[in-house]
């Protein structure tokens, strides 16, 4: 019952006109938007409308929350939702935005059992209890600059997808409709991503260059976030060097970034 009314409300939101100023902002500041096929741009706009209606943005450390901040972060987060059944990051309530990197106090356990307090510099993080934290300078860089390999917003929102089943383990909800398909998809996913994760760990230990950021060698959750970044930012290199991994991500995200990675942007998008 509640799901039915939620879906109806979201359908109404998606049918609302997308503000022309927001579309112009996407054309100017998010070049990937203009490379998407028209149907994908329309779907992305609908997702952005729902996302901004349901999520709260909070400025931290003096950061002002403007339409540019909200729309450019939402557009990147919603790229991960295209073509998929989605509940719009159901555990997420707030996006906390700092101007730049920020300090977090952490507790460090020593070998002798003592615990010391330290300060750690961070650019972003995903919390399982309702928030994503982002450094705005990194978030906007991810929107403006294509093919960097790294994208903070995609990374942190991949963690949110991973957390939808309540377990942060690098295995998101795979979205199959039958128990047989679920079992089969999980087996294939586990086999491919486990092998790729171990390969990245070996590369990190040996100091080898790789298209994947070796930060992903820390654990399976970070690996999923890192490969998500690479899938959208460096699709050609990822497919060439890790075809099985690319195929799994293509099936999960129901997108092929290669189709628009080299597409020519449409110059008249803002007037459509």
pLDDT in tens, 141-177: 999 998 887 899 999 999 999 999 899 999 999 875 5
Bridge partners of 105?
A: 119
Segment 78-101 mean pLDDT: 96
Q: How far is CA 192 from CA 12, 131, 231, in A?
A: 39, 30, 15
State the pLDDT confidence band at 119, using cuts at 50, 70 and 90.
confident
pLDDT band of 269, cuts 50, 70, 90: very low
Instruction: Give residue 179's pLDDT.
Output: 57
Domains of the chain as residue ranges with CATH: 2-271 (3.40.390.10)
Looking at per-residue pLDDT, the higher value among 86 and 177 belongs to 86
- Structure confidence at residue 272 (pLDDT): 35
What are the helix (H) ranges across the chain?
Answer: 2-14, 20-29, 31-35, 38-54, 67-79, 136-144, 152-162, 179-206, 220-233, 235-241, 243-253, 258-261
pTM to 2 decimal places: 0.91
The distance of Cα 221 from the centroid of its chain, to the nearest Å, equals 13
> Residue 107's pLDDT is what?
72
User: Which among 204, 166, 214, 174 is positioned nearest to 190, based on CA atoms?
Assistant: 174
What number of other Cβ atoms are within 10 A of residue 20's Cβ? 10
Q: Tell me the CB-side half-sphere exposure of residue 126, using CA atoms within 13 A.
A: 22
The DSSP string of 139-176 is HHHHHHS-S-S--HHHHHHHHHHHGGGS--SS------
Token representation of residue 129? 């209890």
Computed over every residue of the chain, the mean pLDDT equals: 91
Q: What is the mean pLDDT of residues 257-271?
A: 66
> In the block, which residue shows the tokens 């961070």?
122
- Give the DSSP letter of residue 111: T
Q: What is the mean pLDDT of residues 44-68?
A: 98
Question: Environment class of residue 211 by beta-carbon count within 10 Å: exposed (0-12), middle (13-18) or buried (19+)?
Answer: middle
Of 234, 167, 238, 226, the residue nearest 197 (C-alpha): 226
> Tokens 């952005």 belong to which residue?
48
Residue 247: band (very low, low, confident or very high) from pLDDT cuts 50, 70, 90:
very high
More confident residue, 154 or 265: 154
d(CA 91, CA 105): 24
Percent of the chain with pLDDT over 70: 92
- Average the pLDDT over 231-235 and give the result: 96
């Amino acid at each position: 019952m509640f799901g039915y009314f939620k879906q109806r409300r979201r359908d109404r939101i998606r049918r609302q006109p997308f503000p022309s100023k927001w579309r112009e902002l996407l054309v100017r500041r998010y070049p990937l938007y203009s490379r998407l096929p028209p149907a994908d741009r329309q779907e992305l706009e609908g997702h952005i409308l729902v996302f901004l209606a349901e999520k709260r943005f909070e400025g931290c450390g003096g950061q002002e929350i403007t339409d540019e901040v909200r729309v450019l972060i939402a557009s990147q987060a919603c790229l991960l939702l295209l073509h998929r059944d989605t509940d719009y990051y159901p555990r997420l309530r707030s996006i906390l935005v700092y101007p730049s990197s920020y300090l977090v106090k952490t507790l460090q356990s020593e070998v002798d059992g003592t615990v010391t307090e330290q300060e750690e510099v961070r650019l972003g993080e995903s919390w399982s209890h309702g928030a994503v934290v982002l450094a705005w300078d990194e978030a906007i860089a991810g929107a403006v600059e294509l093919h960097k390999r790294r994208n903070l917003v995609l990374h942190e929102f991949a963690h949110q997808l991973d957390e939808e089943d309540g377990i942060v383990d690098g295995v998101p909800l795979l979205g199959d409709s039958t128990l047989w398909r679920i079992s089969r998809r999980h087996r294939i996913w586990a086999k491919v991503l486990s092998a790729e994760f171990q390969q990245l760990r070996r590369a990190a230990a040996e100091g080898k260059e790789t298209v994947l950021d070796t930060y992903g060698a820390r654990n399976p959750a970070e690996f999923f976030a890192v490969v998500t970044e690479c899938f959208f930012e460096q699709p050609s290199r990822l497919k060439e060097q890790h075809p099985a991994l690319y195929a799994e991500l293509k099936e999960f995200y129901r997108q092929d970034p290669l189709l628009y990675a080299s597409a020519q942007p449409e110059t008249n998008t803002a007037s459509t």
